[in-house]
Amino acid sequence: MIIERREVEFGAEDLLLVLACSPRAATAFGLARGQPQAVIFEPNRQTVRFVFPGGGHAHSVELDTPQLGALLVGFCLRMRMPLPRKAEKAIRVEPGIVVLAFRIASRPNFSMLLPEEHRSGATPATQQAWGS
């Protein structure tokens, strides 16, 4: 089994950009209009808390990983970032970042394998491409 992994990281500034560019989605998840004054990553709880200024006191809204995943995948698609469709998807909250992770498992189909290049040189093209 061949495993391909891809991760996209979002820091605090990136999450603020996502919210600014996704006001309808943010509102659907209970976030207030306007820019949060703070983004707090909570890896132990696998959540991110957005703190909004209020009339005299701040209030916060916490998003869990399914909500963050929906928000971030929607943003990436609108950005036209290529995302694998047939992949296991996961969200991790780490100190200072949210990680959108993809895992694709594939088995080689030997009947579809293209033949290796046959060259007269001593160094295969793939070895040359890797600078060896």
Mean pLDDT in residue range 61-70: 95
Q: Is residue 65 within 8 Å of 93, Cβ to Cβ?
A: yes
What is the reported pTM?
Answer: 0.78
Taking residue 13's Cβ as centre, other Cβ atoms within 10 Å add up to 9
Which range among 46-50, 54-58, 86-90 shows the weakest confidence by mean pLDDT?
54-58
**Residue in the structure block whose two tokens are 């820019």:** 35
Res. 45 pLDDT band, cuts 50 70 90: very high
For residue 92, pLDDT beyond 90? yes
Of these ranges, 54-58, 67-71, 122-126, the one predicted with the greatest mean pLDDT is 67-71
Return the residue matching tokens 């995948």: 73
CB contact at 8 A, 100 and 72: yes
Residue whose tokens read 């998003």? 63
Alpha carbons 132 and 120: distance in angstroms, whole number = 18
Mean pLDDT of the chain: 87
